Structure 1
Amino acid sequence: SPPPQIPLPPLPPILSPPLPILSPAPHPSPIRSLGYRASMIRLRDEAASTSHSPEREIGYGITDSWDEIVETLQGAPVSTDTKLGGYVREYMTQMRST
């Protein structure tokens, strides 16, 4: 036989807060229409503080000194004959003559 049905009291009405009034859609922005990458490039160009890359901590006390390395190398004399190059040429000459 089916289980007996127990009558339940009626549920109270569900009260919901009034719906918010939607604001009109924002006007199309030239930055928003560019896309993320283009807007980031534009913002970077407009912000003076981000126009150069500051020296930053990499970790374990190591700093990003790439600019210093490039400046040092640009001032270094160009060498066409290094010790190793001389050794290689000397070795190749000996190998050809034997």
Structure 2
Amino acid sequence: MKSKLLITLFLAQYLLSGCSLFDRHEMAPDLAIQHVALTKHFEDEANELQTKIEEHKKFLSQFESKSYLFGRHANDLKAHSQEVIDLYQQAVTANQDMAEMLREADH
């Protein structure tokens, strides 16, 4: 009975010591490359959205400065442009947060 317990404990210790050789924080090279690519994707997406924000800000300033050209729809167009700008800004923030999270996970 004692020998079975001793053998079981010995095997358990042997298996656990084998698992300790693996570094949990070390990332596989392929996974590291994917993290870098995904980080770049989120950064590129944030930059594209920032360009769209600038474009919609130009539209908004046009609606504000020349509202007489748009008639009674000027206020609707201004509100819509502001809403689109706000949504794009939220998307930029989300993409930047994801890129930062991936950068931290990569280290």
TM-score range, shorter chain: under 0.3
* Structure with more contact order per residue of length (Cα contacts < 8 Å, sep ≥ 6): 2
TM-score, normalised by the number of residues in structure 1: 0.28
CA radius of gyration, larger in:
1
Structure with a larger share of its residues in helix: 2
TM-score, normalised by the number of residues in structure 2: 0.26
